[in-house]
Chain A
Amino acid sequence: MKHLRLTTFLVAAAMATGATTGAMAQQDGGRLDLIVQPEPPGLMLGLVQNGPTQMVAGQIYESLLRYNKDLEPQPSLAKEWEIAEDGMTYTFKLQEGVTWHDGEPFTSADVVFSTVFLQDNHARFRGAFSHVESVEAPDDLTIVIKMKEPYGPFINAFEAGSMPIVPKHIYEGTDYATNEMNNTPIGTGPYKFVEWEKGSFIHLTKNEDYYIDGLPHIDDLYYRVVPDAASRAVAFETGEVQVLPGGAVENWDVKRLTEMEGVCSTSDGWEFFAPHAWMWLNNREGPTSNKLFRQAVMYAMDREFVKDVVWNGYGTVPTGPVSSKTNFYSDDVPQYPHDPEKAKELLAEMGYDGTPVRLLPLPYGETWQRWAEAVKQNLEEVGIKVDIDSADVAGWNEKTANWDYDMAFTYLYQYGDPALGVARNYVESQIKKGSPWNNVEGYVNPEMDKMWEAAALEPDNAKRQEMYTTIQKQIVEDVPVAWLLEIEFPTIYRCNVKNLITTGIGLNDGLRDAWIEE
């Protein structure tokens, strides 16, 4: 658990995140080619928040804060910040001398405007800022946020993808969605947009006027669009691209590529997201509505095997709903080792009649297909009949959002705090047809609901931990969903690319500090 409360101004010593030490050896210049997969629909981060957009636009746009791998806040557009003792006021001091890529000065008015802009366009922002009373700018370089109630995870809400600061002078008074400048995004970040040849590449170039002297180091970034996974592996092998972000190649290519000479890999840089994979078990109907059946599913699965074989050993088998990388994790929960006999006993106890269950894999490529097949085999070993039901991404959205499934694979980000990324999957108020990113399984536990709410609003971290520990224990007992894996997506890169992953969101904002050794 990380300490989040600060009572005096934090003066972060000159951006030194530990990652930028050893400045002597750093070299400027060069060009870096990275894969972006799939091609993003747009780069205006305030309007589009999908993964590829965040990865590219995270170099163009910035937020008030960044987060290191321990999820501690670091300065970004805000150089200092203060949280009042009662958790009701957040004061940010902005960096001086920051300009937008078109030369206009950046001020606190842009921050205030961004909160208005995002209120209309960003679901996650709306959620976090629903606890905010007002956002004010007493002067050009100060932002004061007053809260309606103390909200523990609020300090985690200022990551670039969660709250990108957008230029007021371009968007104020326009129709945001159709503003022509969306195609040539203007931010404050270390790289500027140059060109996007649809279907081929996105070209960013060094922001010479960046407000941190000496950064960034690399002259040009090319995000290459290569739609076929095997071709992406070839692109890396031949040296056309030097960086494969997590998930860019199929898992069976990972081992071969990382064993090549001069190739490095790391699973760092996903701490903030902590992608957590599970199967929704439909709690409303069919065998999966029975708790004994759901527990049997947990015992039947050999999750270590999947981790070792399907995921090449990357990742961690989760103990419950909260990732071990997320704040307030607790391992004091019931355990579900691979135990087919125990699973059979539970099925006998519930009187399972052999009703087949439909299993919906995630349509994200071969890895996920194989994963579903491994689960099917495990379940059939204990006598559960499984039919694999397939769909493309849109069909998967449709089926899960409308609860038309028995078991369905998914994975979701946790954003550093259970209140931001975990609660939404287990509280009754988040049972909403039409979206696949909430309590899709239909788990109802009013007692836990109260505790989730209290924990989010509790200013004292020790008390929050206590409540989250209780919640985790109870939910793991009930098995509303079957937790599969804390996913680790290895980033594969040529070893002469240095300082690539320095924050909790990795490549999404890492190019600021990266450099290439000639």
Chain B
Amino acid sequence: MQIAGTILSRLFKAAITLLAIAILNFFLVHAAPGDPATVLAGEAGAADEQMIADLKARFGLDQPFHIQLARYVGNIVTLDLGYSFRQGQPVLDLILDRLPATLILTLTAFWISLLAGVALGVAASARVGKFTDTLITSVALLFYATPLYWAALMAVLVFSVQLGWLPGFGYETVGSGFSGLARAWDILKHLILPALTLGLFFMAVYMRMTRASMLEVAQQDFVKTARAKGLAPATIRRRHILRNALLPVVTLAGLQAGQLVGGAVLTETVFAWPGIGRLMFESLAARDYNTILGVFLVSAAMVIVFNILTDIVYRLIDPRIGHKA
């Protein structure tokens, strides 16, 4: 009951926040130099005044700024993300087209980094100061320090160009006619390199955080008590230490999850992954206002949703949270 009430009030606040974000985005996007009409005209390599005037009228840019803003707010309140004049499609269709590819990539990277990071962190903390610990922390440091773009290109050069094991880019084999399991296997092969590249950095972060947190919790009195009453070390580690050590990791995972929609621009670009990050970046370059605002809004909504989910997970891991209030 209490959780339900909290969620309701959070959702209400979230709606207000989203509206504020949308309006702020609108100002930000329009503050950038240039507009979609001049970009389109520019790309044509030839333009006259009539062309620019026609385009502006078609895009609604000939209206005063406050009217444009009012129209936009009116649209999003009715959950209408508008129309991309550049691409000739409703923004919602464009986003829904790209969303699956991005979610497959970012969710895979998310779970790989979270599970592997926590597992490695636990392993390192169990053998602190020994060879295993040194090895894990060194490798993690390397992943942590490697620029994503460089790692991506190196992965392509080694596994795709040199060894030929995995496809270097794309979402699936184009024109292969695969369906069912064959298609899933094909997508999986394409997914491995970008998901690993995207996941490495966060894996290193989770590993370091888990390790540090485990070591800290292990010093606390209740762990000594558990040890004193003769529980097995493995049980103590799992039930007493890990469960408490996970809270900061969950916080961080919540932050990463918030970036599931918009946070993979670089990876999507290098691996030609047809996701939403690229849609956002390309729309930004083209000043395709409605599309950028649409992607921003969906990303912002994701951040808020994952914040709420994070709070719920806190309560599940540590039942004390929420009861104090």
A residues at B contact (CB < 8 Å) = 31, 33, 38-39, 41-42, 44, 48-51, 120-121, 123-124, 126-127, 177-178, 182-183, 197-201, 203, 220, 222, 224-228, 230-231, 234-235, 237-238, 240, 391-395, 397-399, 401, 412-413, 424, 432, 434-437
Partner of A238, one of B54, B88, B161: B161
Min CB gap A253→B, angstroms: 13
B44 touches A50 (CB 8 A): yes
- Find chain A residues with CB under 8 A from B269 CB: 227-228
Is there contact, CB below 8 Å, between B45 and A49? yes
- Chain A min CB distance to B93 (Å): 10
Please determine whether B97 and A50 come into contact, CB atoms closer than 8 angstroms. no
Q: Which of B201-209, B273-281, B294-302 contacts A (4 or more CB under 8 A)?
A: B273-281
Q: Can you report 7 residue pairs joining A to B where beta carbons are below 8 Å apart?
A: A42-B87, A44-B88, A50-B40, A51-B45, A199-B98, A224-B170, A231-B270
Q: Across the interface, name the chain B residue whose C-beta is closest to A162.
A: B46
- Stretch of B29-37, B136-144, B233-241, B252-260 with 4 or more beta carbons under 8 angstroms from chain A: B29-37
Closest residue on chain A to residue B272 by CB atoms: A226
Considering only CB atoms and an 8 Å cut-off, how many residues of chain B contact the other chain? 57
Is B42 a contact of A393 with CB atoms below 8 Å? yes
Q: Are A231 and B169 in contact (CB under 8 A)?
A: yes
- Rounded to whole Å, the gap between the CB of A93 and the closest CB of chain B is 29
A231 touches B156 (CB 8 A): yes
A401 to chain B, nearest CB (A): 6
> Any chain A CB within 8 A of the CB of B168?
yes
B287 touches A177 (CB 8 A): no
Q: Which 4 interchain pairs have the tightest Cβ spacing?
A: A394-B34, A199-B274, A50-B43, A398-B33
Q: With the chains together, A198 CA to B274 CA distance in Å?
A: 7
Q: Give A43 Cβ to nearest chain B Cβ, in Å.
A: 10
Establish whether residues B46 and A124, one from each chain, have CB atoms under 8 Å apart when the complex forms: yes
Type the 1/0 row for B152-170, where 1 means its CB is closer than 8 Å to any CB of A. 0100110011001001111
The one of B32, B170, B174 in contact with A394, judged by C-beta atoms closer than 8 angstroms, is B32
A222–B48 CB distance below 8 A: no
**Are A234 and B42 interface neighbours, CB within 8 A?**
no
Roughly how many angstroms separate A126 CA and B49 CA in the complex, as a whole number? Answer: 12
- Asked if A123 meets B39 with Cβ closer than 8 Å, knowing A199-B278, A394-B34, the reply is no
Q: Point out residues on B near A: beta carbons under 8 Å.
A: 32-35, 38-52, 54, 58, 85-89, 94, 97-98, 101, 153, 156-157, 160-161, 164, 167-171, 174-175, 268-275, 278-279, 282, 285-287
Tell me, in angstroms, the Cα distance from A395 to B282 when the chains sit together: 14
Contact partners of A127 in chain B: CB under 8 A: 46, 48
Q: Is the CB of B175 within 8 A of A31?
A: yes
Residue of B nearest to A195 (CB): B175
Whether the Cβ atoms of B282 and A123 lie closer than 8 Å is no
Starting from the known contacts A123-B48, A177-B58, A226-B272, 10 additional A-B residue pairs (CB-CB under 8 Å) come to A31-B175, A41-B86, A48-B44, A49-B43, A197-B274, A199-B273, A199-B279, A393-B39, A394-B33, A413-B45
A42 touches B88 (CB 8 A): yes
Task: Determine whether the beta carbon of A231 is less than 8 Å from that of B272.
Answer: yes
Contact call A126/B88, Cβ cutoff below 8 A: no
Question: Are A123 and B33 CB-contacts (below 8 A) given A198-B274, A200-B171, A231-B272?
Answer: no
Complex: A33 Cα to B170 Cα, angstroms: 13
Q: What's the Cα separation between A50 and B46 when bound, in Å?
A: 9
With the chains together, A306 CA to B254 CA distance in Å? 51
Among A31, A33, A201, A231: residue with most chain B CB under 10 A: A231
Q: How far is the CA of A200 from the CA of B268 in the complex (A)?
A: 11
**Contact partners of A392 in chain B: CB under 8 A:** 285
Shortest beta-carbon distance, A487 to chain B, in Å?
Answer: 13
Q: A391-B33, A395-B33, A398-B34 are in contact. Are A200 and B170 (CB under 8 A)?
A: yes
Instruction: Give CA–CA (A328, B101) in the complex, Å.
Output: 52
**Of B48, B171, B275, B282, which one neighbours A39 at CB under 8 angstroms?**
B282
Q: Is the CB of A222 within 8 A of B174?
A: yes
B32, B89, B164, B170: most-surrounded residue (chain A CB, <10 A): B170
Q: Which of A200, A395, A434 contacts B272 (CB 8 A)?
A: A200
Inter-chain contact B174/A224, CB cutoff 8 Å: yes
Report yes or no: B175 in contact with A203, Cβ–Cβ below 8 A.
Answer: yes
> How many whole Å from B320's CB to the nearest CB in chain A?
46
Contact B156 A123 (CB under 8 A): no
**Which of A123, A226, A238 meets B46, CB within 8 Å?**
A123
Say whether A228 contacts B270, CB under 8 Å: yes
A36 to B43, CA, bound (A): 15
With known contacts A178-B88, A198-B94, A198-B97, A238–B168 Cβ distance under 8 A: yes
How far is A224 from B44 in the complex, measured between Cα atoms in Å? Answer: 21
CB of B39 within 8 A of CB of A394, answer yes
Give the complex CA separation of A223 and B52 in angstroms.
29
Chain B hits for A197, CB < 8 A: 274
Shortest Cβ distance from A294 into chain B, in angstroms? Answer: 25
With a cutoff of 8 Å between Cβ atoms, the chain B residues found around residue A231 in the complex are 156, 168-169, 270-272
